[in-house]
Structure 1
Amino acid sequence: MDVNDSQEATVWSTTQRIALVALLAAIFLFHLIMMRESTDWGGDYAQYLNQARNLTRFHDMNDTGYVYNPDAPVIGPRAYPPLFPVFLAPIYAVFGVDYEVLKIAMVALLIVTLTICSGYFAKHLSAWYTLALIALIGFMPVFWEFNHWIISEHLFVVLWMLAMLLYQRDREDTAQPSHSIPRAVLLGLVIYMAIGTRTVGIVLPPALILTELILYRRLTRYMMVSISSAVAFYAIQKVLVPSGGSGYLDQLSQISVHSILYNLYADGGSFTYVWDNGYKEALSKASGILLSLVAIVGCLRANWPKPQFLFIASILYFILIVIWPGAAWARMIWPLYFGFLGWFLYACEKFPRSNKQRTIITSLLLLYTFGCYASFYYFADFSRISGPEDEAAQEMFVQVEQRMGDDPDDVCLFFKPRVLTFYLERKSIGYPIELDNEAALHRTIDDHNVKIAVTQSDDPPELPAMLAAEGFTQVWSNQAFQIWQPASKTAEPNPMP
């Protein structure tokens, strides 16, 4: 698709520009007003914040206390790529562990992404359709749920869409492509930053190569400078932070036909969440599948015969997350929602034969979509999020801290090890993925100096017996958690001063 195929794309009136600013402000306020308190047990945020805290202390970023378990590689890598912790570090330094402030920062990143999206899709959609797209993304319940998570995808999608915008500006108009070396280096820097934020950004260099080969039938200087720059920046990162992003390759052992088919079902089906009404699941899925076909038709039309960089990168991204074990459901396709909805509106704008048909069809589809949003929010849970801030969890943390020995190498076995290391700054390791595997549990305990274990009331009933077989005895419990120690260390701890 030629970037100038929309006659209205490059001309925005003052009214439309003001409408965009007002819409972005409304989206920002909407997410602030609808924000839920506290945080959940997701361990990713804890590891990111742990790495950020280390930066504020001028300590080794990756020395978090999280003990990587080869029998549970999907819990998380040994260390995450460094750029999101770098982003979080000044916020942590000023505000500490303030989840409200951190969530506001995530909403701010969404607004930045939407601003970039408006610039990108304004080349493919008319101004009013671009505004409709920003509204669709900004108020979408999926992103409302995402904004309660302090995770790297927030920053990654900024860089993902920025890379698309820069390439579109420089190269997608094949009649007048830019050959600027500084611009190529800038794109390489953004590509590196995407990889330095999330490892899945590695799809961007091959996507760039494929896009250039298709559009220009050769390896261009612009492409080679961009790729070389990205590699150079990444090499500098590896020198400064050698272990950043390490541990992902261990997950390759979990790949199977079953995992691939499951990811294909889960990731593909997550596109229909745009039309989740929070009430009638059958209606959500049926309409989601039908309207997803509209988006697919728009995608094919928009990218034939000249594919966009966004299209090529999205395909490679989707293939990677389908292959990768554990990469399932809406979070995994987060960066793909922008192009998906953009192509959905592209189909609405380009395929109807007359302005009247276009207006009627688009209005009905937008009304239905926003109706789904309203229904979802009507039935949504706005209560405080249950997680490590709960009283039961805080009681457990106090007991673990009291019962851990003075040896800093003592390890606690916990189902969310990265959360425990963040709250207590003590070493923790996760349970094996196969909880019924006695050999894996024995390796975890014996090889990693486990001196205390924590179970939950809803754990599989065989787990206590397996811990008992390893010489552990229950020494404390509340309504949600139980603490276990080796039989030789079951004395009551001294009370905290």
Structure 2
Amino acid sequence: MYMMLARNLLEGHAYADTGYVQSALAYLAPASYPPGFPIALVPALAMFGLNITVIKLYMIGLYGVAVVMCAWLAATRLPADRTTSCWVIVGVAALVAWNPRFAGWATLILSESVFVIVTYGALIACDHAYLRLDSHRSCNALFTLAGGLILASLATRVFGLALILAVWGYELVRYRRPTRFGVMLFVIAGLAGAVLLGPRLLGTSTGETSYLTLVFQDLFAHLNELPVTVSENLGHYGRLLRHYWLIVPGSATNQLVAAQWIAWLSLPVVAIGLWNRWRSSPSVIEIFALVYLASLLPWHSYGSRYLIPLMALYVVYLTAGLLRIERVLSAPRHAVLWLACCLAIFGYGLTYRATADFDHRIAPAAPNGPNATAMYRYIKQTTPKDTRILVRDPRTLALFTRRGALTYTDNANDQSLPGFTRVVSYAREMGVDYVLATPSDPGFALLRWVNLYPNAFSFIYAEGPFRLYRLRKAN
């Protein structure tokens, strides 16, 4: 979806005119997203086109910048011995960032890296501004920069609102009232956001329901379920924190005993760092983490990637814990860090190997693989532009073919909402012309439907595991 939006920005097309068709029966995603991340993708698309390999390398580069911002933000919370702490923070940031679970997100075309870059940049600017309250010129410049970065954060994800609330919360904790700088920050981000982002978030040119409308419709439609949703999400995110954030988590397909032991060993280290940090007054980053985490709880959807913006806080606590253990044990300089590195590298190597084997097995189903490329080329050459195709992943198909595409599953539970016996009537109701069966179908659902209703479909073309069928008109 992000690449389609970026291409529309690059080519001057209507922003939300992507070809993805929303379905009330099988909802997958809104018609558009905020423009911050698509804008960041425009340079890569302009230079290299729809080259998935290059785009993934570009995403790894953005993730690397996000890791640097993470270490920089964590360094603002350094203990007194800055030389020792700086090296420890760099090491811990690298350990956390290249955790296989984190690094797995680095190559995916998602907004987390850009959101982390601009959000951490805003927090760093705010932190330096509060240290220079007596110097109005430099302080005003830093708060203006922070306001622009908050705008960029809002343009990337709606959760950028947590930045404004975090600044106000920090001022209430630190100064017992909002300062003029907090008010100025709110005005800069609010006015610029209303002018620049309002048309993108509140409406689309295609008549589809917009992103911001869907966000708040979902929230207000389920207000009566809010206590249950919050309690369930607390459990979900608690499990995700346990499995994703420890130095070397085990994976669902490769529960390594060594990795699990290393994970449990890191728990007391983080707890020690948490205790040492919260004995002093909380910083902007900690207030932001609390507000951001609280903002995740009311929503029905959840996922481990939403925890990535909390990476800097985890680095702070892990670093503080390692430094505290070194001081208590009177260990040689960086000895604890080197031990953590050795344990982590051992676990990382085993997990990366399992991941590489899995990626090799699913390579034939990749959207930029030879089978998929040949199928997309055939669809572009043989179907009219107003064609609608039913497929498991409609956004990938719409990106490479510019044809209308819709799904048959709901993103929240990955189950077939139309019902196993209603797929034909559902497809005809939505104006579907073709059905594309792909290896990403859970249980090859579309192929099973085609076999159940052979009179409703006619085979058109096959390329490896990809099969295209025409939906026959009703008699």
Q: Deviations over 1:219-260 (max 9, x none)?
A: 111111111111112112234524374433455468764963
Q: Does 1:54 align with 2:8?
A: yes
Q: Does 1:260 align with 2:233?
A: yes
Mark the CA change 1:285 to 1:237 in structure 2 (over 3 Å): closer, same or farther. Answer: farther
Check the 8 A contact 1:142/1:274 in 2, yes or no: no
Secondary structure of the 2:331 match is helix
Q: 1:342 Cα shift?
A: 2.3
Mark the CA change 1:314 to 1:428 in structure 2 (over 3 Å): closer, same or farther. Answer: same
For residue 83 of structure 1, what is the aligned residue in structure 2?
36
Letter paired with 2:20: Y
For residue 411 of structure 1, what is the aligned residue in structure 2?
388
More moved, 130-139 vs 460-469 = 460-469
- Structure 2 counterpart of 1:345, from 299, 319, 327: 319
Secondary structure of the 2:346 match is helix
Give 1:196-207 correspondences, 5 Å limit: 196-207=155-166
Measure, in 2, the Cα distance between the counterparts of 1:229 and 1:219.
Answer: 15
Secondary structure of the 1:334 match is helix
Give 1:14-93 correspondences, 5 Å limit: 47-73=1-27, 75-93=28-46
Letter paired with 1:128: W
Measure, in 1, the Cα distance between the counterparts of 2:281 and 2:110.
Answer: 34
Measure, in 2, the Cα distance between the counterparts of 1:312 and 1:444.
Answer: 47
Measure, in 2, the Cα distance between the counterparts of 1:461 and 1:110.
Answer: 34
Secondary structure of the 1:274 match is coil
Q: 1:116 Cα shift?
A: 2.8
Q: 1:336 Cα shift?
A: 1.5
Q: Does 1:318 align with 2:293?
A: yes
Give 1:257-406 correspondences, 5 Å limit: 257=229, 260=233, 263-276=236-249, 280-329=255-304, 331-350=305-324, 352-354=326-328, 356-357=330-331, 359=333, 360-381=335-356, 385=363, 386-401=365-380, 404=383, 406=384
Aligned-residue RMSD, C-alpha: 3.4
Mark the CA change 1:102 to 1:76 in structure 2 (over 3 Å): closer, same or farther. Answer: same
Q: 1:191 Cα shift?
A: 1.1
For residue 206 of structure 2, what is the aligned residue in structure 1?
none
Check the 8 A contact 1:67/1:429 in 2, yes or no: yes
Mark the CA change 1:120 to 1:388 in structure 2 (over 3 Å): closer, same or farther. Answer: closer
Q: Deviations over 1:183-234 (max 9, x none)?
A: 2222121112112112222222212211111111111111111111111121
Letter paired with 2:162: V
Give 1:467-482 correspondences, 5 Å limit: 472-476=456-460, 478=462, 479-482=464-467
Mark the CA change 1:336 to 1:470 in structure 2 (over 3 Å): closer, same or farther. Answer: farther
Check the 8 A contact 1:473/1:486 in 2, yes or no: yes
Mark the CA change 1:270 to 1:321 in structure 2 (over 3 Å): closer, same or farther. Answer: farther
Q: 1:266 Cα shift?
A: 4.2
Measure, in 2, the Cα distance between the counterparts of 1:150 and 1:227.
Answer: 30
- Structure 1 counterpart of 2:104, from 142, 145, 154: 145
- Structure 2: 5+ residue stretches without partners: 79-84, 204-209
Check the 8 A contact 1:271/1:292 in 2, yes or no: no
Letter paired with 1:369: A
TM-score (norm: length of structure 1): 0.77
Percentage identity across aligned positions? 21
Measure, in 2, the Cα distance between the counterparts of 1:116 and 1:342.
Answer: 13
Mark the CA change 1:223 to 1:289 in structure 2 (over 3 Å): closer, same or farther. Answer: farther
Q: 1:423 Cα shift?
A: 0.5
Check the 8 A contact 1:410/1:451 in 2, yes or no: yes
Secondary structure of the 1:453 match is strand
- Structure 1: 5+ residue stretches without partners: 1-46, 491-497
For residue 152 of structure 2, what is the aligned residue in structure 1?
193
Check the 8 A contact 1:417/1:428 in 2, yes or no: yes
Q: 1:402 Cα shift?
A: 5.3
- Structure 2 counterpart of 1:445, from 420, 424, 427: 427
Measure, in 1, the Cα distance between the counterparts of 2:454 and 2:294.
Answer: 42
Check the 8 A contact 2:144/2:185 in 1, yes or no: yes
More moved, 393-402 vs 230-239 = 393-402
Mark the CA change 1:411 to 1:339 in structure 2 (over 3 Å): closer, same or farther. Answer: same
Secondary structure of the 1:67 match is coil
Q: Deviations over 1:139-160 (max 9, x none)?
A: 4333432222122112111112
More moved, 183-192 vs 221-230 = 183-192
Check the 8 A contact 2:243/2:249 in 1, yes or no: no
Q: 1:296 Cα shift?
A: 3.6
TM-score (norm: length of structure 2): 0.81
Q: 1:68 Cα shift?
A: 1.7
Check the 8 A contact 2:122/2:145 in 1, yes or no: no
Mark the CA change 1:334 to 1:489 in structure 2 (over 3 Å): closer, same or farther. Answer: same
Letter paired with 1:344: L
Paired residues in the alignment total 439
Mark the CA change 1:262 to 1:224 in structure 2 (over 3 Å): closer, same or farther. Answer: same
Mark the CA change 1:410 to 1:489 in structure 2 (over 3 Å): closer, same or farther. Answer: farther
Check the 8 A contact 1:413/1:454 in 2, yes or no: yes
Letter paired with 1:248: V
Mark the CA change 1:462 to 1:158 in structure 2 (over 3 Å): closer, same or farther. Answer: closer
Q: Does 1:429 align with 2:406?
A: yes
Measure, in 2, the Cα distance between the counterparts of 1:462 and 1:152.
Answer: 30
For residue 120 of structure 2, what is the aligned residue in structure 1?
161
